[in-house]
């Protein structure tokens, strides 16, 4: 008998998990209330950013916070009415920003990063869509020397752990990408950041591959998890059905803590809401993804146009989007791409909920309360990057194989 595994969530993490489990001989069923790749995985910046080993919250960010928080359209926004709810998360984030914790987090992120490209190639190759991954390094742009020197310690950390950054003058950067403006005085790579040309397309291709090999994708909303004596036996679905479970993997993105809570496990997870604007007619041509040291986010050339994506908003899962934050990305990138054309009526805007943990590490591993449940969620700003690697790790855990890396930093009972 083949083992049978149900995965909740058809984002990049869930479908990658299904793909790796199927390779390992499981019958897989993925359940999602929306189509594959239509949650947070739909609209990210497309960065396969395996060199991004610094946590989202680290000491240098604290110095920038006051300025960011003063600007309602700035890189970080907290809707003040929501703050009391998010306070435990912020306090935990501050506890994780000490130099000692940052070093542990960096090591754990680097261990994931080293596996990313191989695992990405495996799932894309199996789905016949290796063409979606572009092996061209993202360039980080600086228009002030102080921005560049402020990041020296991060570049050293990256180099120490195997992700060295290349450094260029402004003119060298313009030789690579003529659209970059004159005020850019320096550029650097991130130590490993490729990109995909259609993040939703990646997830849909993987899901199609899973279905072609006999897996199932069910469109429904998981309402309840039925369990007894430390084993999950079934899921109750909004459509009225009941889905029997042998093994369960929870990859439900920013909603995963709600499901973990049903199993008696407490996880600090916040929706780190990000935005994008896609400009089908951007007025500039770039051949690689660009980031700009003044603000978190990326400009990525994609099949549907130039996508400007980024910003972080804490407002809970259900608050209305503020699309002015998407337009603000245009004004930021205009500073380094002077030819960028203003959004016209074909521009599209989007908001997505990153599943953020306060230590910038995902939850990957077995439940401590249910013997047949494994978690794969909480990838924050890095879910596209770490999705396939998470899938491989989950398949190893379910096979009883010990992954060849330390999984302790990712355990569910650390919150």
Residues that bind ligand FAD (CB under 6 A): 8-14, 31-34, 38-41, 44-47, 49, 221-222, 251-253, 255, 274-276, 298, 309-310, 352, 354-355, 377, 379-385
Task: Identify which of residues 170 and 363 has a Cβ nearer to ligand FAD in the complex.
Answer: 363
- Two structure tokens written together for 175: 């030789």
Q: How far is the CB of 100 from ligand FAD (least distance, A)?
A: 26
Query: Residues of 263-297 as b/e, b for ≥16 C-beta within 10 angstroms?
Result: bebebbbbbbbbbbbbbeebebebebbbbbbbbbb
Alpha-carbon gap, residue 352 to 415, rounded angstroms: 24
Tokens of 105: 């987090």
Closer of 170 and 273 to ligand FAD (Cβ): 273
**38 versus 151: smaller Cβ distance to ligand FAD:** 38
Query: Closer to ligand FAD at the Cβ: 2 or 261?
Result: 261
Q: Rank residues 170 and 191 by Cβ distance to ligand FAD and give the closer one.
A: 191
Count the neighbouring beta carbons within 10 Å of the beta carbon of residue 83.
12
Name the residue among 16, 28, 15 with its Cα closest to residue 245: 28
Shortest distance (Å) from residue 194 CB to ligand FAD: 10
**CB 356 → ligand FAD: shortest distance, Å?**
8
In the complex, minimum distance from the CB of residue 169 to ligand FAD, in angstroms, rounded to a whole number: 26
Shortest Å, Cβ 93 to ligand FAD: 17
To the nearest whole angstrom, how small is the minimum distance from the Cβ of residue 403 to ligand FAD?
19
List the structure tokens of 22.
Answer: 């199927």
* CB of 161 or CB of 299, closer to ligand FAD: 299
Quote the CA–CA distance of 303 and 204 in Å, as a whole number: 15
Which residue, among 28, 9, 3, has the nearest Cα to 362 in the 3D structure? Answer: 9
Please state, as a whole number, how many other Cβ atoms lie within 10 Å of the Cβ of residue 342: 12
CB atoms within 10 A of CB 228: 7
Q: How far is the CB of 129 from ligand FAD (least distance, A)?
A: 17
Residue whose tokens read 């239509």: 38
Beta strands in 82-221 (DSSP E): 133-134, 139-142, 167-169, 186-189, 194-196, 216-219
- Name which of 16 and 372 has its Cβ closer to ligand FAD: 16
Output the smallest distance, CB 361 to ligand FAD, in A.
12
Q: Closer to ligand FAD by CB, 161 or 251: give it.
A: 251
Question: How far is residue 122's CA from residue 394's CA, in Å, rounded to a whole number?
Answer: 15
Do residues 32 and 202 make contact, with C-beta atoms less than 8 angstroms apart? no
The 10 Å Cβ neighbour count of residue 8 is: 26
Closest CB 328 distance from ligand FAD, rounded Å: 12
Return the SS3 of 364: strand
Q: What distance in Å separates the CA atoms of residue 83 and residue 61, rounded to the nearest whole number?
A: 19
Between 27 and 38, CB nearer to ligand FAD? 38
């Amino acid at each position: 008998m083949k083992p049978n595994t149900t995965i909740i969530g058809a984002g990049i993490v869930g479908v990658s998990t299904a793909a790796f489990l199927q390779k390992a001989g499981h019958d897989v069923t993925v359940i999602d209330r929306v189509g594959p790749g239509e949650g947070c995985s739909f609209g990210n910046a497309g960065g396969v950013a395996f060199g991004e080993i610094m946590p989202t919250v680290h000491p240098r960010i604290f110095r920038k916070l006051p300025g960011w928080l003063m600007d309602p359209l700035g890189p970080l926004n907290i809707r003040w009415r929501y703050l009391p709810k998010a306070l435990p998360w912020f306090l935990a984030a501050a506890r994780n920003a000490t130099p000692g914790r940052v070093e542990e987090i960096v090591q754990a992120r680097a261990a994931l990063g080293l596996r990313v490209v191989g695992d990405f190639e495996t799932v894309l190759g199996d789905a016949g869509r290796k063409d979606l991954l572009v092996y061209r390094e993202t360039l980080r742009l600086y228009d002030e020397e102080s921005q560049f020197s402020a990041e020296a310690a991060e570049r050293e950390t990256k180099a120490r752990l195997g992700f060295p950054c290349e450094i260029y003058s402004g003119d060298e950067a313009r030789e690579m990408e003529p659209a970059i403006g004159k005020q850019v005085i320096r550029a650097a790579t991130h130590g490993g950041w490729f990109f995909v040309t259609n993040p939703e397309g990646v997830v849909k291709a993987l899901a199609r591959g899973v279905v072609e090999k006999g897996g199932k994708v069910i469109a429904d909303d998981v309402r309840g998890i039925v369990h007894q004596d430390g084993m999950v036996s079934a899921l109750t679905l909004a459509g009225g059905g009941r889905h029997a479970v042998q093994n369960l993997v929870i990859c439900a993105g920013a909603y995963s803590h709600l499901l973990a809570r049903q199993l008696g496990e407490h996880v600090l997870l916040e929706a780190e809401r990000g935005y994008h604007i896609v400009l089908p007619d951007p007025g500039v041509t770039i051949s690689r993804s660009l980031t700009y040291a003044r603000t978190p986010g990326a400009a990525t050339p994609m099949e549907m146009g130039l996508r400007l994506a980024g910003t972080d908003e804490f407002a809970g899962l259900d608050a209305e989007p503020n699309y002015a934050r998407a337009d603000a990305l245009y004004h930021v990138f205009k500073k380094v791409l002077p030819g960028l054309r203003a959004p016209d009526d074909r521009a599209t805007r989007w908001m997505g909920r990153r599943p953020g943990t306060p230590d910038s590490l995902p939850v990957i591993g077995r439940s401590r309360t249910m013997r047949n449940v494994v978690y794969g969620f909480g990838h924050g700003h890095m879910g596209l990057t770490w999705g396939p690697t998470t899938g491989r790790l989950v398949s190893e855990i379910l096979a009883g194989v010990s992954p060849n890396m330390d999984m302790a930093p990712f355990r569910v009972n650390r919150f």
